[in-house]
Chains A and B, each alone.
Chain A
Amino acid sequence: MTEQTAPGAARYVGARINRVEDARLLTGRGVFVDDISLPGMLHACFVRSPFARAAILGIDTTAARAVPGVHFVFTAAELNPGVKEQWHTSIGKASPDTPRPPLAEGEVRFVRDPVALVVAESRSLAEDAAELVEVDYEPPPAVVNAVADALAPFGVTVTRLPLSPSRIVELLEGKASP
């Protein structure tokens, strides 16, 4: 390594440097995504599932589409075919991941899973219309005693959790008391 240092290094190394963007940010002249306003721009609002898991029996967007100022209301049938690349994690496109459709197809799999997309002239109108989208959900019963319920038909009563897999085998083979 040579002893030579670049001419600017003495000025910067060890010195306190002000950032170049601060004057703009301190005076409210930053441009964040919501600050962008373009001619003809529309605003989106998603209709989201209130259930952690449910079948979607039907979606009625008639009332939502009738709200003045609403331009589109998409559901999976209208939107998903046009999306060429599925959302994927940082593992990459080739990973055998659970399919994640842009809008829920046939079922919702987490609370706030997006079911419909409303596009309107203002955010307020989009929210008004989103409230009018009617989704017919059929949530299955929640399984909160999976292990106990699964073992009951085999005559095993679970009195204590957690149970390790080897312990479950012991209980099923009748080798141990619960």
Chain B
Amino acid sequence: MKPAPFEYHAPDTSADAVNLLAELGDGARVLAGGQSLIPMLALRLAVFEHLVDIGRIPELKGIERRDGRLRIGAGTTDAAVEASADVTSTVPLLTRATPFIGHFQIRSRGTLGGSIAHADPAGEYPAVALTLDASMEVVSPRGRRTIAARDFFDGLWSTSMGPDELLVGVWFPIWSGRRGFAIEEFARRHGDFAIAGATVGVELDDDDRIRRCAIGLIGLGSTPERAGAAEVELTGRPITEVEPEDIGRLAVAGLESIPADQHGSAEYRKRVGAAMVARAWYAASAEARHA
């Protein structure tokens, strides 16, 4: 299966890239790692007249601590994120989520920004970005702006970026203190899209009370979700009083658009999701307690 023809552009700055996108309009698409886009092109499920390859833009790569946060260039590969000691020490949830992304061959090319801009509700990076309240740095011919994760994912494979906007970097807050993080995901085979999953961050005070927590949900809606009600319920409570299974059930209680397909009904996904939350909660809180 071969793709339909397209014109290829390889700008070397993000300014050139967004000017191209503005000029080319609807018929253009950004090519980052290509690990989601190229299969669609090969199967002719999608056709674009122009591809704008952002793989040669140096300013899109790089991982650095800045202003108390971790900034990851949108063009940074999953493999680079996985291997980075900076990421492990500052945003360990990213390090732990990365091995769940496909297979290592995919991670050689796939990018953090590409995954977040693709906005698949079963994706790991979108869920981590939402869980940690990351900020998306975006440029257009009109300048630079930041979009908070909670305002970024607005529908299935859809973001609030405009057609001439390009994601250039993602800023992750760095949690300090007694913190714990975990991701749990269930898929039929290793590397498959998750049927359901959970990303958890928890921070305890010195009395083992929950100072803050964040619970993200993978594959349980048309976008990644936050289990806001469960988070509110948990904040301030002593960690020892919390039963992971209860949190799991609470986290999935209000979900309204859980997908259903040949891999499982909505009810099945809900049960799996609750179990993933419970396991991730257990692991994250154990880590925080020993911190």
Contact = CB atoms under 8 A, between A and B. Distances in A.
B56 interface: no
B193 to A, nearest CB: 25
Contacts of B2: 123-124, 127
The number of chain A residues touching the other chain, given as a range, is under 10
Contacts of B3: 124
A128 B44 CA distance: 10
Contacts of A128: 4-5
Contacts of B44: 127, 131
Nearest to A126: B2
B38 to A, nearest CB: 14
Interface in A122-137: 123-124, 127-128, 131
Nearest to B4: A128
B1 interface: yes
Nearest to B1: A127
Contacts of A127: 1-2, 44
Interface string B1-16: 1111100000000000
Nearest to A125: B2
Nearest to A123: B2
A128 B2 CA distance: 9
11 contacts: A123-B2, A124-B2, A124-B3, A124-B5, A127-B1, A127-B2, A127-B44, A128-B4, A128-B5, A131-B4, A131-B44
Interface of A: 123-124, 127-128, 131
Given A127-B1, A128-B4, 9 more contacts: A123-B2, A124-B2, A124-B3, A124-B5, A127-B2, A127-B44, A128-B5, A131-B4, A131-B44
